[in-house]
Copies of this chain bind each other. A is one copy, B any other.
Amino acid sequence: MSNSNTRFDIPQSEIPTQWYNIQADLPRPLPPVLHPGTKEPVGPDDLAPLFPMGLIMQEVSQDAYIDIPEEVREIYKLWRPTPLLRARRLEKALDTPAHIYYKYEGVSPSGSHKLNTATAQAYYNKQEGITGLTTETGAGQWGTALSQACSFFDMECVVYMVKISYQQKPYRRAIMETFGASVTASPSDTTQAGRAILERDADSTGSLGIAISEAVEAAVTSEGKYKYALGSVLNHVLMHQTIIGQECLKQMALADEYPDVIVAPIGGGSNFAGIALPFLRENLKNGRQTRLVGIEPAACPSLTRGKYAYDFGDTMGMTPLVKMYTLGHDFVPPPLHAGGLRYHGMASIICEMYNQDLMEAAAIPQMETFQAAITFARAEGIVPAPEAAHGVAGAIREALAAKESGEKRVILFNLCGHGHFDMTAYNAYFADELSDYEYPQAQIDAAMANLPQV
């Protein structure tokens, strides 16, 4: 391979055979998850109504590496390894001495990194005789991925889609139905939770919190037929995504460079974790000093402006209590187009990384992310999803800082998905209908006054 290559391909025989579990190497362990009633640590049995034991064991495992089942690797071969590209045209457009690399997860058939964990979750459920999975989706990336994964394993998929998205994103619904999923607008009359909401407000356009409640209820009342699947936040979900960073380690070696800094968006944390954790291991074990930078929306700044405290994972206060950087479980983020990043909290693993000074975080306003996405698209051809645009914007900040200081800097970012189903957001940007959101501290303080007592 010559230096003029822009893509660094590894063969399918080099798809990683194990997932990497950061719990084995964190300097201090994760704080326990607490039962919302007893405030005692929850055990595997508490989670059994929702998840199969194979995933619960991964959730609490302290092993550094866990084998990827052969059947999962066979599915991964439909799109993996994903490409690592050097953004030479973007470097030129920015006139920067930095070398910018991006890992492109949008080549997955679902269009994002979500299929990495959806495939694994469907597999472990299938192994334990579960015939279908329930879940919620907002922007639609996760619902699409789980629909495909269930189709691969001949399982049913029941998706509760936030009603406003269901109405505004008929293409998302269509692709899930193409894979045989049943898609229901939430709130619906198919669950008690949905009916209760509709009784109070027949015109409710729904929320992710409500859709979660419906999906969880549909699983626990199915008499063992269905279980529930979550697309981010949990330890096992982040672990499944480490296949991304492991591939990057090999591909950066092909490019004969090593990243000085890694950038990725953070909403629940799985995308950032996927690319960063294998490099964090190199920092911890092999003396590397790569900076790891998570980018969150300025309008939903959990790490940069939240509080490290025990809180509920959902809006309704039904889940176990998790210690995390939170804006308060009843914090309502604005109608940001990066729907996948509108989460009040953050994965426990990411929170401990931040707490233990193993990573940095930055908050970027919406308009800057769209400007960055368009600069990137015109240089490299790919239109990023609004969530992915946060990673692009973070990488561009790093590249401009390198230009300012005149240093060569090797930047790697995770382009977690394309924006083909999000073009409404770009239309709104071009029509001057978008803006930034700035929170008065008092509003965040108010949302946090309602944190549960532990």
A430-B6 contact, Cβ under 8 Å, with A1-B12, A382-B109: no
The 8 Å CB contact of A5, one of B6, B7, B13, B79, is: B13
A180-B378 contact, Cβ under 8 Å, with A175-B383, A383-B175, A426-B174: yes
Q: Which residues of chain B come closer than 8 Å to A6, judged between CB atoms?
A: 12, 74, 77-78
Q: How far is the CA of A89 from the CA of B378 in the complex (A)?
A: 36
Known: A78-B89, A109-B381, A111-B420. 6 other contacts (CB 8 A): A5-B11, A5-B12, A5-B13, A5-B77, A152-B381, A177-B426
Q: What residues of chain A have their CB less than 8 Å away from a CB belonging to chain B? A: 1-2, 4-7, 9, 11-13, 74, 77-79, 85, 89, 107-111, 115, 148, 151-152, 170-171, 173-175, 177-180, 374, 377-378, 380-383, 420-421, 423-424, 426-427, 430
Count identical subunits in the complex.
Answer: 2
The 8 Å CB contact of A377, one of B115, B179, B380, is: B179
Q: Which residues of chain B come closer than 8 Å to A107, judged between CB atoms?
A: 107
The 8 Å CB contact of A420, one of B13, B170, B171, B424, is: B171
Beta-carbon contact of A79 and B381 below 8 Å: yes
Which 7 residue pairs spanning A and B have beta carbons closest together?
A109-B381, A171-B423, A174-B423, A420-B420, A174-B427, A6-B77, A174-B426
Task: Tell me, rounded to whole Å, the shortest Cβ–Cβ distance linking A387 to chain B.
Answer: 16
Q: How far is the CA of A171 from the CA of B378 in the complex (A)?
A: 17
Q: How far is the CA of A173 from the CA of B424 in the complex (A)?
A: 10
Q: Which residues of chain B come closer than 8 Å to A420, judged between CB atoms?
A: 111, 171, 175, 420-421
A171-B424 contact, Cβ under 8 Å, with A7-B77, A77-B6, A151-B378: yes
Q: How far is the CA of A424 from the CA of B175 in the complex (A)?
A: 10
Q: Which residues of chain B come closer than 8 Å to A374, judged between CB atoms?
A: 178
Beta-carbon contact of A110 and B381 below 8 Å: yes
Q: Which residues of chain B come closer than 8 Å to A423, judged between CB atoms?
A: 170-171, 174-175
Q: Which residues of chain B come closer than 8 Å to A79, judged between CB atoms?
A: 381
Beta-carbon contact of B378 and A179 below 8 Å: yes
- Which residue, of A13, A107, A420, has the highest number of chain B Cβ atoms within 10 A? A420
Task: Tell me, rounded to whole Å, the shortest Cβ–Cβ distance linking A385 to chain B.
Answer: 12
Beta-carbon contact of A178 and B426 below 8 Å: yes
Q: How far is the CA of A424 from the CA of B381 in the complex (A)?
A: 24
- Which residue, of A89, A148, A171, A380, has the highest number of chain B Cβ atoms within 10 A? A171
Closest residue of B by beta carbon distance from A426 = B174
Q: How far is the CA of A152 from the CA of B420 in the complex (A)?
A: 20
A177-B430 contact, Cβ under 8 Å, with A380-B109, A381-B109: yes
Sample (29) of A-B pairs whose CB atoms are under 8 Å apart:
A1-B12, A2-B13, A5-B12, A5-B77, A6-B12, A6-B74, A6-B77, A7-B12, A9-B9, A9-B12, A78-B85, A78-B89, A108-B381, A109-B380, A110-B381, A151-B378, A152-B381, A170-B423, A170-B424, A170-B427, A171-B171, A171-B420, A175-B423, A178-B383, A178-B426, A179-B378, A180-B378, A420-B420, A420-B421
Q: How far is the CA of A383 from the CA of B421 in the complex (A)?
A: 13
Q: How far is the CA of A56 from the CA of B1 in the complex (A)?
A: 35
Q: Which residues of chain B come closer than 8 Å to A9, judged between CB atoms?
A: 9, 11-12
Q: Which residues of chain B come closer than 8 Å to A421, judged between CB atoms?
A: 420
Q: Which residues of chain B come closer than 8 Å to A4, judged between CB atoms?
A: 74
Q: Which residues of chain B come closer than 8 Å to A383, judged between CB atoms?
A: 109, 175, 178
